[in-house]
Amino acid sequence: MSAWQYKAVFELLEVCQDARSLSEFKVRLVESLGEMFGYANTTFLQGATYADIFDDAKAVTQGRTTAILEEYHERWRDKDIFRLPASAKALVGGSVLSHTQIGRIPDSTKSYLSEFLYRHKLHSVSAMHLNLPNNGHALVGIFDSADMEPDETDLHVLRLVARQLTCIARTMPSDEQRVWLDRLTTRQQQIAALVAEGRTNDELALELGFTLDTAKKHVSRIFSRVGVRNRAEFVREYHAHTIVRP
């Protein structure tokens, strides 16, 4: 590790240690990765489980990732390269992983790289896994052009940082629990309002231009995020909140 990397590590950890809440910690971390390590395009996604990370509609972003977050949730989160079982195993066990370290990538997941990230001129992607309070999980994504990809030394530094950040994050006061509506994407909020009005899956598909299968998947994801089993439970939960249709 070089002298400037030592300096950057200590400065980043000091900045994050001074955060007063998990929300502040997330913002400080992504900003510090840019300021101290030169990682200009970053994301911070969190979830109650590892699988939930990819549904985080309130991710903290920086750089070019901000403009593509909505597209990610609409089209690509199910194909995220770090959603692969092999990626999850490596990340939870070793904290940091580059897309170049993943073995065989299914064709369906390759499109996440070729048709999404590369199209947005993001040719390198690495992820850092953190453990959060209440056994939560987070992934910090680091994106850049091909010539800016972290090398082995950089990844080693990030692993050291990740272990220390996990220690810090676990002691952070948990943020006040958000209303479930805030966990939904803009499109999911639209669908939730229609379901609460009594639309069937067939009607959703017709009104929103989906296939029936896509409509069913959207509704299933919404029910999962809200924590209900069926439409009746969902409608009760929906109307228990003062919700204005988006």
Label each residue of 174-219 as H, E or C. Answer: CCCCCCHHHHCCHHHHHHHHHHHCCCCHHHHHHHHCCCHHHHHHHH
Give the Cα separation of 232 and 238 in Å (integer).
Answer: 10
Structure tokens at 105: 């990538």
Nearest to 184 by CA among 77, 95, 73: 73
Question: What's the pLDDT at 112?
Answer: 95
Cβ 138 vs Cβ 169: under 8 Å: yes
Question: What's the pLDDT at 98?
Answer: 92
Give the Cα separation of 23 and 44 in Å (integer).
Answer: 10
pLDDT one-digit tens code per residue, 40-50: 999 999 998 99
Question: What's the pLDDT at 241?
Answer: 55
**Is pLDDT larger for residue 228 or for residue 125?**
125
CA distances to 95, 199, 202, 223, 231 from 207, rounded to whole Å, are: 43, 10, 9, 20, 18
pLDDT one-digit tens code per residue, 235-244: 887 776 534 4
pLDDT one-digit tens code per residue, 26-81: 999 999 999 999 999 999 999 989 999 999 988 999 999 999 999 999 999 999 99
Give the Cα separation of 82 and 141 in Å (integer).
Answer: 10
Question: What's the pLDDT at 246?
Answer: 38
Which of 77-86, 184-193, 208-217, 233-242 comes out lowest in average pLDDT? 233-242
**Is pLDDT larger for residue 180 or for residue 245?**
180
Nearest to 158 by CA among 5, 2, 4, 3: 5
pLDDT > 70 fraction of the chain, expressed in percent and rounded: 92
Question: What's the pLDDT at 194?
Answer: 93
What pTM was estimated for this model as a whole?
0.70
Question: What's the pLDDT at 174?
Answer: 58
Give the Cα separation of 106 and 24 in Å (integer).
Answer: 37
**Could you tell me the strand order of the sheet in which 60-62 lies?**
60-62, 41-47, 136-144, 124-132, 96-98
Place of tokens 């204005």: 244
Strand pairing category for 96-98 and 136-144:
unpaired
Structure tokens at 83: 């959603």
Give the Cα separation of 53 and 77 in Å (integer).
Answer: 10
What is the H or E stretch that residue 141 is in? strand 136-144
